[in-house]
Amino acid sequence: MARTFDTLLARMQELKDLSGVVGLATWDQETYLPPKGEIARASQLATLQGLCHERLVDPRVGEWVERAATEALSPDEAAMLRVFKVERDRAVKTPQALVKAIAESQSHGLAAWREAREAKRFAPFKKALQRLLELRREQADALGHDGERYDALLESYEPGMRVRRLEPVLGRLKDQLIPLVEPLATASARRPSQIAGRTFPKAAQWEFSLTLLRQMGFDFSAGRQDVSIHPFTGGTHPLDVRLTNRIDEANPFSAIFSAIHEGGHGLFEQGFAEADWRTPLAAAPSMGLHESQSRLWENLIGRSHAFWEHFFPLLRQAFPEALQGVTLEDWVFEANRVSRSLIRTESDEVTYNLHVVLRFELELLLLNDALPLDDLPAEWNRRMETLVGVRPENDLSGVLQDIHWAWGELGYFPTYSLGNLYSASIHAAAQRAIPDLEDRIRRGDLLTLREWLRTHVHAPGFRLPAEERVQALTGRGLTDEDFIAYLKRKYAAAS
């Protein structure tokens, strides 16, 4: 006799396929879509996401979920059912008209954001952001919350996390990091840059970024890298993972660390177990855990001395003129220079989480309609000066720098800090499990670490919630102790 779960699984697989098509259309929107195609793409995405929602909230699916829960299921099937039920319960609470309105407004938001960036002024983006905020408030209220709208949206990215727990975590980080910035930034400022004013040709940067991704084990027969305004990872399936990057000829670190960062995301996406590919288990349990992989590769590996002992000679071959007279020590120092940067994606490990705190605090205000949009750029600038010690000259380097609000992605930014905390704990566990890890990296062996992560983080997918996965791997859950200890060890000489 056929099981109801098998009928339900077919619907799960169908939804996974549709989600992949949405992912492809969104990736194309950020890479190759011609400007006049924006209007058409907005309608297409609204229709696709409306179809996904309709197939998910179908009353028959609810009946299948209830009946499947009474059947004899394997542990993996029970995990699929648990994850799918949570997703469906949230979808049922969200009207289809709202889903389509959000999708269409996201497309319009992206177009307005690009226009505002060109003008270096917030004004062209204001109306689109206002609409996205209205829709997200409506969504939060539809999903339900215990007095804090932000919790309802945060749940989409970090299941189980709440503002009441997040605020103390970010508060502790802020209190510990702000005192570190002044002495480290001052020490860095005393050492002149050895690469300032030099030109790193785009073509050579692109090829070097591809070399790094290959060394990390990113499978280019199951993925690719393209150009976008804001680097991101997307795609349709573990066999079709799309990375993007951006090139600045005056700043090679932008492309290098974006490639490593997005490569960390890409390895996660390519690393799900084949048996899970078209099921809810082929997903990260949270964006915080996903970010732990990109931040681990970017910072704990990619900024380490051991990493550049292997890769700096290759870099010198790629840029013989630009790196003339630059030593390995010069390069590693530049890769870890602490400065009061305006741009989050290019900030150092000490100040990075302060950028996240700024966005989190502003999102709480925006979602609660406690900050007029006319005041947003000035409030951004004021908080940036208070937290990081620098004030933007224009909105391009201020409130317009991130793509997330153009997508209406409120609740996402805290996952970057959670990813930093998880990354330090996971890296410490990897060092315990692979005692010669640093020597392996020094020799250019990145695949040993990739395989360890694939086994312990990637392949398990969504079988456990994020914090439980980290606890099973490291012996404890969310903590800032490993991250702060790592920073203090790394910068001890400079402080």
Q: What is the pLDDT of residues 361-375, one digit of tens each?
A: 999 999 999 999 999
Return the active site residues. Answer: 262
Ordered alpha helix ranges (H), 298-339: 305-318, 328-335
Apex CA 282: angle with CA 278 and CA 283, to 5°? 135
- On whether the 163-490 domain is CATH 1.10.1370.30, my answer is yes
Backbone angles phi, psi at 478, to 5 degrees: -70, 125
* Overall average pLDDT of the 352-366 stretch: 97
Q: What is the mean pLDDT of the chain?
A: 96
* Overall average pLDDT of the 73-78 stretch: 97
Confidence tier at 278 by pLDDT (50, 70, 90): very high
Q: Is 324 helix (H, G, I), strand (E, B) or coil?
A: coil
Q: Using one digit for the tens of pLDDT, what is the confidence trace for 123-144?
A: 999 999 999 999 999 999 999 9
pLDDT at residue number 101: 95
CA distances from 200 to 75, 250, 319 (A): 52, 6, 7
pLDDT at residue number 345: 85
Asked if the model's pLDDT at residue 243 lies above 90, the reply is yes
CA distances from 10 to 58, 68, 193, 240, 460 (A): 14, 13, 57, 21, 21
Take residue 50 and report the two structure tokens written for it. Answer: 């409306």
Asked if the model's pLDDT at residue 460 lies above 70, the reply is yes
Nearest to 410 by CA among 445, 363, 377: 363
Q: Are 217 and 447 in contact (CB under 8 A)?
A: yes
CA distances from 262 to 138, 155, 244 (A): 32, 23, 7
pLDDT at residue number 493: 59
Asked if the model's pLDDT at residue 386 lies above 90, the reply is yes
Asked if the model's pLDDT at residue 288 lies above 90, the reply is yes
What's this model's pTM, rounded to 2 decimal places? 0.94
Distance between CA atoms of residues 263 and 250, nearest Å:
22
Confidence tier at 346 by pLDDT (50, 70, 90): confident
Q: Using one digit for the tens of pLDDT, what is the confidence trace for 396-442?
A: 999 999 999 999 999 999 999 999 999 999 999 999 999 999 999 99
Asked if the model's pLDDT at residue 495 lies above 80, the reply is no
Confidence tier at 230 by pLDDT (50, 70, 90): confident
pLDDT at residue number 1: 66
Distance between CA atoms of residues 456 and 93, nearest Å:
34
* Overall average pLDDT of the 221-243 stretch: 95
Place of tokens 């969310």: 478
pLDDT at residue number 477: 92
* Overall average pLDDT of the 282-311 stretch: 98
pLDDT at residue number 309: 98
pLDDT at residue number 456: 98
* Overall average pLDDT of the 160-178 stretch: 95
For residue 208, give the H/E element and its range.
Answer: helix 202-216
Q: Are 149 and 138 in contact (CB under 8 A)?
A: no
Asked if the model's pLDDT at residue 494 lies above 90, the reply is no
**Does 147 or 5 have the greater pLDDT score?**
5
Place of tokens 């699929």: 80
Which distant-in-sequence residues (6+ apart) come within 8 Å of 42 by Cβ? 103, 104, 106, 107, 108
Q: Are 390 and 342 in contact (CB under 8 A)?
A: yes
Q: In the chain, what percentage of residues exceed pLDDT 70? A: 99
Distance between CA atoms of residues 299 and 286, nearest Å:
20
Confidence tier at 454 by pLDDT (50, 70, 90): very high
* Overall average pLDDT of the 157-180 stretch: 95
Asked if the model's pLDDT at residue 322 lies above 90, the reply is yes
* Overall average pLDDT of the 230-249 stretch: 95
CA distances from 98 to 54, 104, 148 (A): 12, 10, 20
Backbone angles phi, psi at 235, to 5 degrees: 125, -165
Confidence tier at 354 by pLDDT (50, 70, 90): very high
Q: Where are the domains of the chain?
A: 4-118, 163-490
* Overall average pLDDT of the 208-231 stretch: 96
